[in-house]
Structure 1
Amino acid sequence: MRGKPLYPFALTAILGIGLIIILSFVGVNIGPDTATENGEENEEEQEFDDPIELGESVYQQNCASCHGGDLEGASGPALDSGGHSEEDILSAISEGPGSMPADLVTGEDAEAVAEYILSENQ
């Protein structure tokens, strides 16, 4: 060992890199399905019969951080004042006024969010 002091370090480095590669491939096979194995359901896999329930779920995932959990507003404007039509809400979702990103939700999800907002303002 006196004449070749780098061999133990090189061997340790090679084993470490090999272990990292092996664990990376093992980790790729472990995905988002772990929540369903524990008996929980992924939110993307939930099916809603009521579009207002779907709208509330999509709102909580995508909109509540800016518009507040109860539509009271936070960094974005309050949505609990009413006076908005479904077309106004869908237009705002698709165009993204101000600093709001455009098309944050689309299609059926956007329509469900609009229905949820309208139902909360009644």
Structure 2
Amino acid sequence: MKKYFLAFVLGTSLLTLAACGGGEENNTATDAPAEEGGGAVDTADAEKIFQQSCASCHGGNLEGGFGPNLQKVGDKYSQEEIEGIIANGQGQMKGGIIKGEEATTVAAWLAEQK
């Protein structure tokens, strides 16, 4: 019984790390990043980046899962605060999963989720 429990715990831990960790090879540059100062957000690019790098923990519809629900994250955090969380991590989320213009694009899109 102990062997099965240990295998389950180890397997679950590895899946969690694989789902939420790294993934830089999945990141692609965006052609139209969000403009600074409240410009229009390229929703399609933001959603694509989110699906590739974030949805495994936060859910495909922002409903949460291993990570928290983000459906109304814009009510709680500004774009700058969201970008800081993406860069530095928070809770069990490590920082830097997405970087640069991609992080700015996703942060701007998430800030609109209210």
Task: Classify the TM-score, shorter chain.
Answer: 0.5 to 0.7
Distance 2:79 2:86 in 1: 11
Paired residues of 1:93 and 1:110 also in contact (CA < 8 A): yes
Tell me whether 1:108 sits opposite 2:107 in the alignment. Answer: no
Aligned residues: 79
| TM-score normalized with structure 1 length | 0.56
- Runs of 4+ aligned structure 1 residues displaced above 3 Å come to 43-50
- The two structures, once aligned, show a CA RMSD in angstroms of 2.2
Gaps of at least 5 residues in structure 2 are 1-26, 34-40
CA gap of 1:80–1:45, structure 2 versus 1, over 3 A, is closer
CA gap of 1:97–1:48, structure 2 versus 1, over 3 A, is same
Ranked by relative contact order (alpha carbons within 8 Å, sequence separation 6 or more), the top structure is: 2
| TM-score normalized with structure 2 length | 0.60
CA gap of 1:44–1:77, structure 2 versus 1, over 3 A, is same
Rg larger for? 1
Paired residues of 2:63 and 2:70 also in contact (CA < 8 A): yes
Paired residues of 1:52 and 1:115 also in contact (CA < 8 A): no
- The 3-state SS of whatever aligns with 1:90 is helix
How many Å apart are 1:97 and its aligned residue? 0.8
Q: Structure 2 matches for 1:34-73, cutoff 5 A?
A: 44=28, 47-48=31-32, 51-73=42-64
Structure 1 residues 32-76: Cα deviation after superposition (integer angstroms, max 9, x where no partner): xxxxxxxxxxx8487458632211111000000101111111100
Paired residues of 1:93 and 1:103 also in contact (CA < 8 A): yes
Give % identity. Answer: 35
Gaps of at least 5 residues in structure 1 are 1-42
1:91 aligns to what? 84
Q: 1:77 aligns with which of 68, 85, 89?
A: 68
